[in-house]
């Protein structure tokens, strides 16, 4: 388990030394041990690229209403991924509530019911994830504790648009451009 530092604090590095930087991830060995209160199988994530230990259902939001898509195409969607449509592809309040109902709660079910053991949902501070309705529904219907990541630390704990996520996006873009330059792919 790690905590994100707001201030300049010494953070361990791989060679055994330390470095001072805001937003550093500091190993935490609290009263619950390495994983904290929630073992890795009971954690979920709501960001662009899921964390490696997340076992919940994946979902994707497409821009638009989904009205121009044929039934044949919809049937061909991978069943392991829940597909949503939203006018601007945003995770607004309505989407977040749909996500709980269609994706998150079913992924928590064991033998038709939500387990008694509480799980943890790591979330950004998107408006839809900060509403009282979302928090209460998550707790009541999914037996899940909502944990908002610290503002400004998302890229330190999840590979999104900065750091590793940026390098991954650039590498994918380079490969896509090479593929598009081939006459057979135009």
pLDDT digits (tens, 9 = 90+) for 157-170: 665 666 666 777 78
pLDDT at 118 over 70: yes
pLDDT at 153 over 50: yes
Is residue 167 a part of any domain in this protein? no
The mean pLDDT value for 67-77 works out to 88
Pick from 145, 165, 116, 166: which is nearest to 38 by CA?
Answer: 145
CB 159 within 8 A of CB 10: no
The pTM assigned to this predicted structure is 0.57
Share of the chain above pLDDT 90, in %: 13
Is residue 109 a part of any domain in this protein? yes
pLDDT of residue 148: 84
pLDDT at 15 over 50: no
Is residue 32 a part of any domain in this protein? no
Is residue 93 a part of any domain in this protein? yes
pLDDT at 141 over 50: yes
- Six-digit token string for 80: 């392991």
Number of domains in the chain: 1
Q: Which residues form the domain of 110? A: 58-151
Is residue 172 a part of any domain in this protein? no
Interatomic CA distance for residues 6 and 153, integer angstroms: 9
pLDDT at 150 over 90: no
Is residue 129 a part of any domain in this protein? yes
The mean pLDDT value for 96-120 works out to 89
Query: 13-22, 71-80, 90-99, 121-130: which has the minimum mean pLDDT?
Result: 13-22
The set of long-range contacts for 38-42, using a CB threshold of 8 Å and a minimum separation of 24, is 38/118, 38/119, 38/120, 38/145, 42/117, 42/118, 42/119, 42/120
Cβ contacts of residue 135 below 8 Å, gap of 6+?
146
How many residues does the structure list for the chain?
186
Is residue 94 a part of any domain in this protein? yes
Is residue 29 a part of any domain in this protein? no
Convert the pLDDT of each residue in 23-63 to its tens digit: 455 454 555 555 455 555 655 555 554 444 455 677 888 88
Pick from 43, 59, 63: which is nearest to 158 by CA?
Answer: 43
- Six-digit token string for 170: 């650039």
- The number of C-alpha atoms within 13 Å of 46 and in the hemisphere containing its C-beta is 25
pLDDT at 7 over 80: no
Pairing of strands 10-12, 18-20: antiparallel
């Amino acid at each position: 388990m790690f905590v994100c530092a707001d201030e300049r604090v010494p953070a361990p590095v791989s060679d055994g030394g330390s470095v001072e930087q805001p937003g550093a991830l500091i190993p935490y060995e609290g009263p619950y041990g390495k994983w904290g209160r929630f073992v890795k199988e009971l954690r979920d994530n709501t960001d662009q690229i899921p964390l490696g230990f997340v076992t919940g259902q994946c979902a994707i939001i497409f821009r638009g209403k989904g009205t121009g898509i044929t039934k044949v195409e919809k049937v061909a969607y991978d069943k392991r991924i829940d597909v949503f449509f939203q006018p601007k592809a945003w995770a607004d309040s309505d989407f977040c509530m749909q996500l709980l109902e269609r994706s998150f709660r079913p992924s928590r079910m064991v033998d038709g019911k939500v387990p008694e053991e509480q799980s943890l949902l790591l979330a950004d501070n998107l408006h839809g994830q900060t509403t009282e309705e979302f928090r209460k529904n998550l707790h009541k219907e999914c037996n899940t504790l909502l944990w908002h990541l610290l503002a400004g630390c998302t890229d330190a704990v999840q590979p999104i648009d900065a750091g590793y996520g940026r390098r991954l996006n650039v590498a994918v873009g380079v490969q896509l451009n090479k593929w598009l330059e081939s006459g057979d792919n135009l």
